[in-house]
């Protein structure tokens, strides 16, 4: 009986190890298989930034321009305090508990396994920032044309979950920053669709050259 338990335990361990190894190899290799290989980088246009926040990428775009005014988009939603110098708005996709706890210990990672298996609450966190909060040296700067920027904005807007009255669903119980609101996201968060996968798909939405699948921030960083 003991031998069978040991054999079963070893088989389970090796199976988990094999899956983890395969996943990690995909994380390394698939970002190097590019889509939109014909993309030509622009030297002028509408500037956006892809930033890194503790291994998770965010999209930072202008609060308003001739195409979109995000203040109007969130007109009925009260952020705590929007300052005149906060000319950028930051969007990030995540899972509620993994984002708010922001723990990196081994034990906390194990406790968050159900969230990475798709059982958590996916979110879009939004906050306004100024130039001083935007680390341009460690961010990927991209210039977009009007049509590309329009496509990116549509991708972001379509990422929000809405209720029956077509209003955004807000999660107001907890937040990281004072000037931040957390919304329910449409796509489920998991090992397969992470914060960086969402960012990569946003890049793909306007034709940018990026990896075919990107789960880790290092895959996004390949474009820096």
Rounded to 10 degrees, what is the CA torsion of 178, 141, 147, 71? 20
Give the tens place of pLDDT for each residue, 64-107: 888 988 888 886 566 656 666 788 999 999 988 888 776 544 34
The rounded distance, in Å, linking the Cα atoms of 121 and 33 is 30
Paired strand residues for 160 = 185
The model's confidence at residue 199, banded by pLDDT at 50, 70 and 90, is very high
What's the whole-model pTM score? Answer: 0.85
**Confidence check: pLDDT of 174 > 60:** no
């Amino acid at each position: 009986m003991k031998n069978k338990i040991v054999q079963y335990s070893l088989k389970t361990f090796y199976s988990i190890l094999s899956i983890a190894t395969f996943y990690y190899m995909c994380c390394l290799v698939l970002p190097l298989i590019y889509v939109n290989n014909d993309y030509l980088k622009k030297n002028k246009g509408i500037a956006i930034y892809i930033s890194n926040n503790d291994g998770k990428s965010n999209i930072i775009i202008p609060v308003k321009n001739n195409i979109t005014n995000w203040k109007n988009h969130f007109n009925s939603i009260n952020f705590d305090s929007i300052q005149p110098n906060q000319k950028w708005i930051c969007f990030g996709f995540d899972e509620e508990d993994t984002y708010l706890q922001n723990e990196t210990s081994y034990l906390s990672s194990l406790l968050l396994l159900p969230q990475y298996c798709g059982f958590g609450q996916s979110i879009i966190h939004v906050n306004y920032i100024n130039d001083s909060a935007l680390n341009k040296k460690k961010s990927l700067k991209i210039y977009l044309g009007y049509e590309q920027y329009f496509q990116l904005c549509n991708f972001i807007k379509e990422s929000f979950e809405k209720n029956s009255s077509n209003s955004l669903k807000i999660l107001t119980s907890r937040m990281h920053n004072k000037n931040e609101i957390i919304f329910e996201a449409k796509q489920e968060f998991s090992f397969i669709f992470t914060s960086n996968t969402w960012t990569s798909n946003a890049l793909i939405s306007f034709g940018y050259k990026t990896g075919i699948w990107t789960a880790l921030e290092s895959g996004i960083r390949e474009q820096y």
